[in-house]
Structure 1
Amino acid sequence: MLQKIFIQHGTGSTFGALFEKNAGFARATTIAMASATFGIIVGSLIGGPIARRLITKNNLKLNRIILESK
C-alpha cells in the first residue's frame, strides 16, 4: 500500500512540474498532490465496504493452505 501511495504522489509531482513549466499551469503540482491524496482516502473509504459486501455476498473464505504455509 505504501508503495502505491509513493507512485501516485510521485507521478502527480512529476506531471505537475511538467504542466507548470511547459503549459504555464500555476500550482499544478499542488493540485496533483491534493488529487492523489483525495483518491487514496476515498478509495480506502469506498473500497473496504465494497470488498466486505462482495466477500459476504459470494460467501468467500480464506484458503487454509495459504494460512498454514505462512
Structure 2
Amino acid sequence: MRDLSGETISRGMAVRLIGGTQTKIAGHLFRSLPNGELARPILEPKRAFVLDRFNRLAEKHRTKREK
C-alpha cells in the first residue's frame, strides 16, 4: 500500500492508521481522521493546552485575591 508520503506501508500499519493511532512513516508523523484520511499530527497535546489554561486562571485568581 502506498500512503501520502509516497512510501509503501504494510497492511498492518494501514489498519493501525485507520484505527486512529499516530505512526511515523519515512521520518514524518501521521494520524488518521475519523473519515480515514491521513493528516499531520496535532503539534501540541490537548493536555498541555488545558494545563496552561488552568495555570492562567489560577494566576488571575491569585492576582484578584491580593488586591
Q: Please report the TM-score for the alignment, with normalisation by the length of structure 1.
A: 0.34
Instruction: Judging by fraction of residues, say which structure has more strand.
Output: 2
Greater RCO, CA 8 A, separation 6+: 1
